[in-house]
Amino acid sequence: MNKEIRKFLNDHLSVVDFQYDPIKKGGSDRSFYRVRLPEGNTFIFMEYGTDVEENAYWAEINRFMTEIGMPAPRIIAYDHRQRFLLLEDLGEIDLYSLRSLPWHKRRRHYLTTLSEIHRLHRIPLADLPASLKLTQGYDRSLYLWEHNYFRENFVEAVCQLTLSESLKRAWAEESDALINRLEKISPCLIHRDFQSQNIMIKNDRPVFIDFQGTRPGNLFYDLGSLICDPYVTFNPDERHELFSFYYRIMEPDYSLDLFTDYFWEGAAQRLMQALGAYGFLGLKKNKPDFLKHTANGIKNLVTATSNTGTLPVLNDLARNCMNKLSSRPL
């Protein structure tokens, strides 16, 4: 621990002696530590660098979420210049840690989580504070970037597949049509990485973390992140219950069938991003644990594209990737 961190903690915790243990979690370039005081109280210290611009937005987004009553960790101290944050300790229970429990024990946490994220989705973008800094929202270029990220870091790097020129053209046409449909859905504020490891459970209630990537986007991207989460396994009935529940609380002016189509396309978009990230983090950032989630991720992408009926090229590609992984386990 350097002297700047020690001084920051001494000043804000009013103690000299404490235990300071690193927390290894996720693919973030931020550093997290659990600070334990002699009497047993614990806090989380976070330090972030300058390489990823959105990291600097975390504290302001946290304050905004707190002001509107969204579940977010309490900030105890913040030093913008040194990029230090001292936060409440939410514990170690998240939705991911509950993944082995039977559905009837996990169900209420997921329903509550969906109710909470709906509160974020329904905020009119025009009502956001002018001072709130966010990453640029989803547009055609970002959707396309995620498609290329998936191709380069998962299809080619992980699955070692080489696409023919004719397949590239067919996929490009299909991707263009998908992006057109995604852009027709009214944008809202989304978490953007809304998966089980970013939803803590404290006092039996969900608390959201890792929301520095919050931005205007497609609500079905968030729903796909949670309900087609590669870290967790759902059966078809559980998935249907979850997105049907969101449909009921959202009360859109269109049918559940159309909502379901939107859901599966949003899930497919999100899964391409997630699989690209697993390949990038696993192979290029030397974090091999991420690669173990590719099998469930590609299975979910096959499921999503099979349910849309609008993405046959991507469905065939996903099936080829799944077959490649099954014949050559990582």
pLDDT of 306: 98
Number of domains in the chain: 2
Is 13 within 8 Å of 28 (Cβ atoms)? no
* pLDDT grade for 1, boundaries at 50, 70 and 90: low
Same structural domain, 14 and 143: no
3-state secondary structure 228-272: CCCCCCCCHHHHHHHHHHHHHHHCCCCCHHHHHHHHHHHHHHHHH
* pLDDT grade for 328, boundaries at 50, 70 and 90: confident
Domain final position from 39, 64, 88: 88
pLDDT in tens, 204-255: 999 999 999 999 999 999 999 999 999 999 999 999 999 999 999 999 999 9
Q: Summarize the confidence of residues 114-126 as an average pLDDT.
A: 97
Same structural domain, 67 and 105: no
pLDDT in tens, 174-217: 999 999 999 999 999 999 999 999 999 999 999 999 999 999 99
pLDDT of 238: 98
Secondary element (H or E) of residue 19: strand 19-23
pLDDT of 28: 66
Q: Is the pLDDT of residue 330 over 70?
A: no
280-288 — which CB contacts under 8 Å span 24+ positions? 280/149, 280/153, 281/27, 282/158, 282/330, 283/153, 283/157, 283/158, 284/153, 285/27, 287/27
Same structural domain, 144 and 108: yes
Same structural domain, 249 and 106: yes
Same structural domain, 170 and 243: yes
Report the CATH number that the domain containing residue 263 is assigned in CATH: 3.90.1200.10
Same structural domain, 102 and 54: no
Same structural domain, 54 and 114: no
pLDDT of 53: 77
pLDDT of 14: 85
pLDDT of 52: 67
Q: What six digits make up the tokens of 250?
A: 């959202």
Domain final position from 64, 88, 112: 88
Report the CATH number that the domain containing residue 23 is assigned in CATH: 3.30.200.20
| Nearest C-alpha neighbor of 214 from the set 222, 206, 205, 223 | 222
Overall size of the chain counted in residues: 330
Range of the domain at 51: 3-88
| Nearest C-alpha neighbor of 305 from the set 171, 202, 183 | 171
Same structural domain, 71 and 132: no
Domain final position from 39, 69, 88: 88
Q: Is the pLDDT of residue 27 over 70?
A: no
Same structural domain, 56 and 160: no
* pLDDT grade for 30, boundaries at 50, 70 and 90: confident
* pLDDT grade for 329, boundaries at 50, 70 and 90: low
Q: Summarize the confidence of residues 270-290 as an average pLDDT.
A: 96
pLDDT of 267: 98
Q: Which residue has the higher pLDDT, 137 or 19?
A: 137
Same structural domain, 195 and 288: yes
Same structural domain, 198 and 76: no
pLDDT in tens, 40-60: 899 999 998 776 678 889 999
Same structural domain, 102 and 84: no
| Nearest C-alpha neighbor of 89 from the set 71, 109, 75, 69 | 75
Give the Cα separation of 47 and 55 in Å (integer): 10
